[in-house]
Amino acid sequence: MLEVGQKAPDFTLLDKNGNPVSLTDFQGKKVVLYFYSKDNTSGCTKQACAFSLAYLQFKSMNAEVIGISKDSVASHEKFATKHNLPFVLLSDPEFQVLQAYDVWKEKKSSGKVTMGTVRTTYIINEEGIIEKVMPKVKPDTNAEEVLAYLNESKT
């Protein structure tokens, strides 16, 4: 897991429209970078929709929301359209960013060990430094917790 105070690893991935997006594109803004497992699964849909509902609040705090999973660009486009998601979704099919942010890990489920994305959120400050790490977040409360943190850190 990356730590608070570290420079966030830069990356360039394709968004839901196939356009390249880099972390450095958001210099001067806070970035809420959240990693999730799979488009259109129940937990990931709840998490994305919660970020969507709060999106204007994030924008008003000069924060950009970016979701990353290993899903394809086409999958992200369908997911974003189906749920009217206004924020950036990035495709990492080769696991480069998932590994750079140390969220691609062994997971145990029903006695089986598989590799998968551990739901994690990083808050990156305006200078590209990791300000907060939220490991193993819950999809239902992640957006609220991030908003609460951002509101608290303003004061």
At 104, phi and psi to the nearest 5? -95, 105
Residue 126 has pLDDT above 90, yes or no: yes
Determine the Cα–Cα distance for residues 68 and 21; give it in Å rounded to an integer. Answer: 11
State which H helix or E strand residue 57 sits in: helix 55-60
User: Does the residue 111 lie in any domain?
Assistant: yes
Distance separating the N- and C-terminal Cα atoms of the chain: 27
pTM here is 0.94
User: Does the residue 4 lie in any domain?
Assistant: no
Show which residues are catalytic.
44
At residue 153, the pLDDT reads 83
User: Does the residue 7 lie in any domain?
Assistant: no
User: Does the residue 82 lie in any domain?
Assistant: yes
Encode burial over 129-138: b for 16+ CB neighbours within 10 A, e otherwise: ebbbbbeebe
What CATH number does the domain containing 88 carry?
3.40.30.10
User: Does the residue 6 lie in any domain?
Assistant: no
Q: How many residues does the chain have?
A: 155
User: Does the residue 146 lie in any domain?
Assistant: yes
Residue 134 has pLDDT above 90, yes or no: yes
At residue 155, the pLDDT reads 57
Q: Which domain holds residue 71?
A: 12-154
User: Does the residue 150 lie in any domain?
Assistant: yes
User: Does the residue 23 lie in any domain?
Assistant: yes
pLDDT tens track for 68-114:
999 999 999 999 999 999 999 999 999 999 999 999 998 887 888 88
Decide if 15 contacts 90 (C-beta within 8 A). Answer: yes
Decide if 66 contacts 32 (C-beta within 8 A). Answer: yes
Burial of 5 (0-12, 13-18, 19+ CB in 10 A): exposed
pLDDT tens track for 17-53:
999 999 999 999 999 999 999 999 989 999 999 999 9
What is the number of domains present in the chain? 1
At residue 110, the pLDDT reads 83
